[in-house]
Chain A
């Protein structure tokens, strides 16, 4: 994840509290979604950014996950995400992000 994004997210977590943040990813494949989710839940695995060794345990979802899609008006979703929902490997991506979410401290 970009170092700049890590800094901004850390600042938001400090400001509002990690439990108030909800991160939605738009990664194109399971691998990049997993790395982004890992960074947000367990800390930066590359130890390069502000989230290195910082376990924020953030709520993180991918925009293609059903749980999220259900919240969004269908016409808007179709217009903004549309064809990408058909092109990308939705199930793999969703599984990767869900698995990482379940590793959040206290997720039980």
Chain B
């Protein structure tokens, strides 16, 4: 799923944050090109 992909980890403050998604992806061998944590209003 992650092979050859540039992954964007678009987390949210009230849900799952960007760095948490990033760690998950990297642990599965994926390459994270952008990690952000948004605040949806």
Interface residues on A, range: 35 or more
In the complex the two chains form, is B16's CB within 8 Å of A71's CB?
no
State whether A81 and B28 are in contact (beta carbons under 8 Å apart), knowing that A1-B38, A76-B23 are contacts in the complex.
no
Partner of B10, one of A23, A73, A88: A23
| 8 Å CB interface, B1-41 against A | 1-2, 4-12, 14-18, 20-21, 23-25, 27-28, 30, 33-34, 36-38, 40
> Does any Cβ of B come within 8 Å of A24's Cβ?
yes
Interfacial residues, chain A to chain B (CB-CB below 8 A): 1-2, 4-5, 8-9, 12, 16, 20-29, 32, 35-36, 59, 63-64, 67-68, 71-73, 76-77, 79-81, 84, 88
Nearest 6 interchain pairs by C-beta: A26-B16, A28-B15, A26-B11, A80-B20, A76-B27, A28-B14
